Amino acid sequence: MIGLLRKRRSIRKFTQEQVSPEALDALTETALRAPSSRGLNPWEFIFVDDPALLKQVARAKQHGSEFVAGAPLAVVVCADSTKSDVWVEDCSIAAILLQFTALSLGLGSCWAQIRNRRHDAVRSAEEYLQELLGLPEQIKVECILGIGHPAELRRPLPAEKLQSEKIRKNRW
């Protein structure tokens, strides 16, 4: 796992090569095996691979989601907010596991935050996606993950650039 952590970077440019059925199966299994508080599994996942729909999903928020239009796959990570008071945390855990599984399969990914972001002056990014994807009101959207074969090379962060001062032992 530390090897994947050392390698992981946000990838926003993808080739047009589709994500293989085997990789889709692995990503699906990862999503469904993600841990959740008290085993309530409030998360829900929408796998989007339709190019026209990907372009619409990419317009979810004002800035920072446009890269999704160039991804062959997006996963909208959401949850039934009536099932758990910690659905945000559960979705976050599932999303990062999806990103690491993608990386282990030779794919790149990037997270686009949706919760608490604006689509425009009238609607939130979440409301936009709820309408676009036909989500019931209680289904809240945490993020969108763009996933695909990387069309850019991003070098790992060197160990000497890690913020070691953020680690303390026993007390502040």
Can you give the pLDDT at residue 1?
81
> Model confidence over 83-140: pLDDT tens digits?
999 999 999 999 999 999 999 999 999 999 999 999 999 999 999 999 999 999 999 9
Domains annotated on the chain, with CATH: 2-152 (3.40.109.10)
The structure's pTM equals 0.95
> Model confidence over 49-67: pLDDT tens digits?
999 999 999 999 999 999 9
Rg (alpha carbons) of the chain, rounded to whole number: 17
The shares of helix, strand and coil residues in the chain, as percent rounded to the nearest 5, are 40, 20, 40
The β-bridge partners of 140 are 79
